[in-house]
Amino acid sequence: MSKHTIRRRLHPAPLAFGLALGCGSAFPAMAADDATGKEPVLPPRTPADATKAATTKAAQPQAVLTNPKGKGPELVKENDGSESEHWVVTASPMNTLRTPIGISRMPQDVLHTPQTIDVVPQLLMQQQNVKSLDEALKNVPGITASVGEGEGGMAGDQFLIRGFAAQNDIYENGLRDFGVYTRDSFDYDHVTVIKGPSSQVFGNGTTGGAINITTKTPNDQNHIGASFSGGSGAYYRGTLDFSHKITDTIAVRVTGMGNENDMVGRDAVYSHRWGIAPSIIFGLGKKINYTIEYFHQTDNRIPDYGVPVVTKPGASYGKPVTEYGVRRTTWYGTTFDQDDSNVDMLTGRLKWEVNPHITVYNDTRGGMYSRYFSASQESCNATCTSALFSSHPETALVSRIGGVGGPNPYQQDDWSVQNVSSAVANFNTGGIKHQMIAGVDIEHIYDRRRNYAYNNPSARQWASLLNPTAYVPGLDVGVGSLNPNNLVNIPNGVGKKEWKTSAATDVGAFFSEQAWLTPWFSVKAGFRWDHWSSNYNATGGVATTPDTHLGQKQDTFNPNVSLMYTPNDHAMVYFNWAESTTPMGLYVTNSSEPLSPKNSKFQPERSRLYELGAKYSAFHDRIGFTASVFRLEKGNSMLTDPSTGTVTDSGDTQRNQGVELSVSGQILKNWNMIATYAKYDSKTTGGTAADIGKQVQYVPRNQATVWTTYEIAPKKPYNLTVGGGVTWREGVFLDPANTARVPANVEFDAVVSHQFGPNWKIAMNGYNLANRLNYGNLFSNRVTPSVGRSFLFNLSMTY
C-alpha cells in the first residue's frame, strides 16, 4: 500500500476560526482614530523606554558632511539646517543584550529581563550559513537534541534545555508551534532561548526553558536579497527575501527556500524541502497595526535513529558501537523509512497603543500539520553485543524494530489554534513607577493517527550490525494475513484499534507587575493560572476489544518573583525565583503515547528555579557581558522505557545547578566575537535508589562555544572576512542510572568571505574540519553521529 494513498486532508475550518478571533479584535480597534493632534504625555521611563528612545534617535535622518574615513567626530546637519559636531558610536550587532525579546508578555530587552537568555543573532546565522533551528542552537550551551522515546518514536525537533525536555516549548513570535518537523531557518530574524521555568509567561511546560523564533516581517525598507549554496553531500540550497513598502502604512515581505542535501558521514540520509513565508502589515508606523503571516514548509526526509549503544564485557558503562570500529556511516533503516511532513500556519498579530500608558496585543495562530512517518529503531541486545566482541563480529545481528514489536508506519494529522490577548500598562503612583502585564491565553490542539502494519515484520527485524542492507525482499505495508485489516497491536493494553486520537485544551490567565521602588531598584512578581484538559482515545478496529477513552484535568498555579538592581541603563543585577508545571498528556502531537491506562492518573512534574545573575553592556553597547548562577529543581520526574515505550512515574527528584557566562560584541575594530560557557552540576537527589547521586542524563558538566570573525580591509576591493569557532560539549550519560555514556563533542568550523561592491558576496564555510566523530541527537540506548567534514559555498546578493 503506497503511503500516498493513506494521507488524509484536514478541514480548514479550525484555521479560519483561529484567524477570525484575531481579526475580530483588530478591526474595531483599527477603526479608532487619534484625532486630538496633541503631543502625548510620556509614561514613566523604564529600561524598555530607554532602548526604544535610543533606537528612535538612531533612526532619525541626519546628513553627514565630513569625516570621510569614519574616524572621530562628524559634522551633522540637523533638521533645522544648523550644523553640529557629533560623536557617532554604533552598537555592535553581535551584542545581543539590546535585542528585544519579541513577545508581548516580555516587553523588555534581554538586558532588562531577569533571566538567563541566549540569543543567536542574524549576523551570526549569516556568517555560519545556518540552515535549520538545530544548527542555530549549536551556539547555545545547555541545549541537547533528542529524537524521542518508545513505541514509534518521534523525529522532528526534540530539544532538551539544561537536561529537561522542551519538545513542546518551541515558539514563533511568542505563540506555540505544535508541529513535529525539522524547522528550516529561512524565515528567521533571530532565535532566543529563555532559560529556566517560564510557565508564568508561556504556560505549562518550560521546565528547562523556552525557545522563541522571531521571524522576518515587513518594515519600512524596500529590500531584495537572494542566495545560493552548494557543496559537500550534494547540497543545493536557494533562498529569497523580498520586502516592499506598498504605501506609507502597508508593507509586504516574502521569504522562500528550496533545499536538497544528503548528510555527509551517514548513508542514505537526505532531506528535500521547500518553504514560503509571506507576510503583510497594515498600519506600519501607526499606533494601531496588524500583521498577518503565513508559513508553509514541505519536507521529504529520511529519519536517522543513529547507532545502538553497547556495553563491552568488563566496561563500567556502555558506548556507541561506532566507538568499537563500526563505521560512522552505518544506517539501520529500510527502503520504507520516510518522514514526509507538510506544515501550514496562519498568524495574525495586533498591536494597539491605546494611549501613552497602555498597549494592547492580540495574537492568533491556526496551524495544520500532516505527516507520514516510518522509521527503524535499532537495538543491540545481549546476543548482539556478545557477537560483536567475539572473534566473529560479522555474525552480530541488530534488531531494527525496537523492543515493542515496532515501530510501525503511521499517518498523523493535526490542527491547532491559539489566541493570546494581553495588555501592558505603564503608570506612576506617587514616586513609584509601575509596569503591569495581564492577559488570557487559550489554546487547543487535536491529533489523529492511524498505524499501518508490515506484511512480514520478522523479515524486517534483523540486520547485520556491521553491514546492514536497507532492501528487504517482499516487504510491503498494508497487505498480508499477519495483520488483518491492516490493524496493528497498540501497546499498553489498548489492543488492535484503527484510530488513535488525542486532544488538549488549555485556558490560562496571567498577571505580573514590576514596581520601581527607586530609580535603581525594582521588584517584579507575577503568576499564571491554567486549566488543562487532555484526552486520549483508541477506537475502531477489533470490535471484541473495547475502545479506550482516557482523560485528565489539571488546575495549575505558577508564580514568579524577581528583584532587580539597575544602577544605570547599561547594567543590571537580578535574582529570580520561578516555578513551572508539566502535566501528563501535555505533549499531544510530539509523544508516541500521550496517555495510557497506567499513567493517566499521574501527578504533574513540578520544577522551580533560583537564579542570581548580572548583565552589563559596555563600551557604548559594543560588548555585552552576562553571568549567572542557578539552581533548578525538578520533582516527580517522568521516565520513558526505551524498550517498551512505557511512561512511568519515577518519583525521582532531580536538580541541576551551575554557572553560565557569555560575552558578545565587537572586541576591536573589525573584530567580532560571541562566546559562551556553562558548567553544570546535576544530580538525582531522591526517588529510585539506583539513581540517587547519579548525574542527570543528557546534562554535561562543561560546555562552551566560541565564534569570532575579523574583517580585513573593509570596503576595499581586496576585502576579506575570516573567522571560525569551536563547539565543545563534555561527554554525557544517557540514562538515569549512568550505565551508558556518549563521548565529548568537539567541532571546529570556519568561514572566509569576500564582498564584491555593496551588493554581492561570496563565502565558503567549513564544518567539522577535524572530521571528528561527534554525536548530535542523544537517546537512552542509541545516538546519532553528527555531520562529517563538509564544505559549503555561498553566493548572495542584496539590493
Q: pLDDT by residue (tens digit) across 577-602?
A: 999 888 776 677 766 555 666 656 66
pLDDT for residue 34: 39
Q: Please, is 789 exposed, middle or buried when counting C-beta atoms within 10 Å of its C-beta (0-12, 13-18, 19+)?
A: middle
Mean pLDDT in residue range 399-412? 72
On the question of pLDDT at 779 being above 90, the answer is no
Instruction: Give the per-residue pLDDT at 490.
Output: 74
- In one-letter notation, the amino acid at residue 264 is V
Phi, psi of 283 (to 5 degrees): 90, 30
SS3 state of residue 394: helix
**Average of per-residue pLDDT across 185-205:** 88
Residue 202 confidence class, pLDDT cut points 50, 70, 90? confident
Q: What is the pTM of this model?
A: 0.86
Beta strands 647-668 and 623-640, pairing class: antiparallel
Is the pLDDT at 53 greater than 60? The verdict is: no
Res 544: pLDDT: 83
pLDDT computed for residue 22 by the predictor: 43
- Longest CA–CA span in the chain (Å) reads 90
- Rounded to 5 degrees, what are φ and ψ at 527? -155, 165
Backbone angles phi, psi at 27, to 5 degrees: -65, -45
Cα separation, 200 vs 459, in Å, equals 51
* pLDDT value at 223 more than 60: yes
- In whole angstroms, give the CA distance from residue 341 to residue 29: 37
Cα–Cα distance for residue pair 317/314, rounded to 1 Å: 9
**Phi/psi at 29 (5° precision):** -70, -40
- Exposure string of 479-501, with b = 16+ CB inside 10 Å and e = fewer, is ebeebeebbbbbbbebbbbbebb
Question: Is pLDDT of 781 > 60?
Answer: yes
What is the pLDDT, as a whole number, of residue 479?
67
Q: What is the average pLDDT value for the chain, to the nearest integer? A: 84
Per this entry, what is the length of the chain? 799
- In the three-class reduction of DSSP (H, G, I as helix; E, B as strand; rest coil), residue 705 is classed as strand
Residue 482 has pLDDT above 90, yes or no: no
Q: What are phi and psi of 648, to 5 degrees?
A: -120, 150
Residue 749 · residue 724 · CB < 8 Å: yes
Query: How much is the pLDDT for 28?
Result: 38
Per-residue pLDDT for 4 more than 90? no
Cβ-contact 647, 639 below 8 angstroms? yes
- Average pLDDT of the residues in 610-635: 94
Least confident of 103-117, 171-185, 630-644, 713-727: 630-644
Answer whether residue 48 shows pLDDT above 90.
Answer: no
pLDDT, tens digit, 9 for 90 and up, residues 130-178: 999 999 999 998 888 875 544 444 568 888 888 787 777 899 999 999 8
Given phi > 0 = left and psi -120 to 50 = alpha, else beta, which region is 606? beta
Task: Give the Cα separation of 199 and 467 in Å (integer).
Answer: 47
Q: Is the predicted pLDDT of residue 16 greater than 80, yes or no?
A: no
The contacts of residue 22 (CB under 8 Å, 6+ apart) are 290, 348, 349, 350, 362, 363, 364, 419
Separation between Cα atoms, residue 701 and residue 658, nearest integer Å: 9
Contact 754/785 with Cβ under 8 angstroms? no
Q: Specify whether the CB–CB gap between 252 and 218 falls below 8 A.
A: yes
Min mean pLDDT across 266-275, 311-320, 522-531, 648-657 is at: 648-657
Looking at 91-100, 316-325, 506-515, 625-634, which range is the least confident one? 91-100
Q: Which three cell numbers stand for residue 594?
A: 500521550
User: Distance between CA 177 and CA 179 in Å, rounded?
Assistant: 6
Q: How many CA atoms lie within 13 A of 616 on its CB side?
A: 9
Cβ neighbours, 10 Å, residue 439: 21
- 114: cell is 531577569
Q: What is the pLDDT of residues 453-466, one digit of tens each?
A: 887 777 788 899 99
Closest by CA to 199, choosing from 536, 480, 442, 556, is: 556
Q: What is the pLDDT of residue 83?
A: 56
| Residue showing cell 518594515 | 219
| DSSP assignment of 36-64 | --PPPPPPPP-HHHHHHHHHHHHHS--EE
pLDDT of residue 581: 85
Task: Report how far residue 98's alpha carbon sits from residue 621's, in angstroms, rounded to the nearest whole number.
Answer: 8
Instruction: Give the pairing of strands 74-77 and 83-86.
Output: antiparallel
Q: Residue 68 corresponds to which cell in the numbers above?
A: 570621510
Q: What is the pLDDT of residue 604?
A: 77
pLDDT over 70 (residue 608)? yes
User: Residue 288: CB partners within 8 Å, gap ≥ 6?
Assistant: 29, 30, 32, 350, 351, 352, 353
The pLDDT of 123-131, averaged and rounded, is 95
**Residue 229 predicted with pLDDT over 90:** yes
Q: How confident is the model at residue 323 (pLDDT cuts 50, 70, 90)?
A: very high
Q: Report the DSSP beta bridge partners of residue 727.
A: 705, 747
Average pLDDT over residues 731-754: 95
Q: What is the pLDDT of residue 495?
A: 79
* Phi–psi pair at 135, nearest 5 degrees: -65, -40
Supply the pLDDT for residue 416: 95
Query: What pLDDT does residue 58 have?
Result: 37
The DSSP letter of residue 477 is: B
Measure CA 467 to chain center.
35
**End-to-end alpha-carbon separation of the chain, Å?**
50
Contact 578, 198 (CB under 8 A): yes
Tell me the per-residue pLDDT of 414-434, one tens digit each, with 9 for 90 and over: 999 999 999 999 999 989 999
pLDDT at 68 over 60: no
User: Residue 37: is its pLDDT beyond 70?
Assistant: no
What is the pLDDT, as a whole number, of residue 361?
97
Indicate whether 410 pLDDT > 50.
yes
CA distance 311 to 385: 7
pLDDT on residue 476: 82
Which residues have CB under 8 Å from 439's CB, separation 6+?
104, 105, 361, 420, 421, 422, 423, 509, 510
Cβ-based neighbours of 526, under 8 Å, separated by 6 or more: 200, 437, 510, 511, 512, 513, 559, 560
For the chain, what percent of residues have pLDDT higher than 90? 60
- 117-798 topology per CATH: Maltoporin; Chain A (2.40.170)
What mean pLDDT is predicted for residues 62-91? 47
Mean pLDDT of 637-641: 59
- Determine the pLDDT at residue 642: 47
| Kind plus residue range of the DSSP H or E element containing 125 | helix 122-128
For residue 403, pLDDT over 90 is answered with: no
Does the pLDDT at position 488 exceed 80?
Answer: no
Q: Distance (Å, rounded) from C-alpha 420 to C-alpha 201?
A: 11
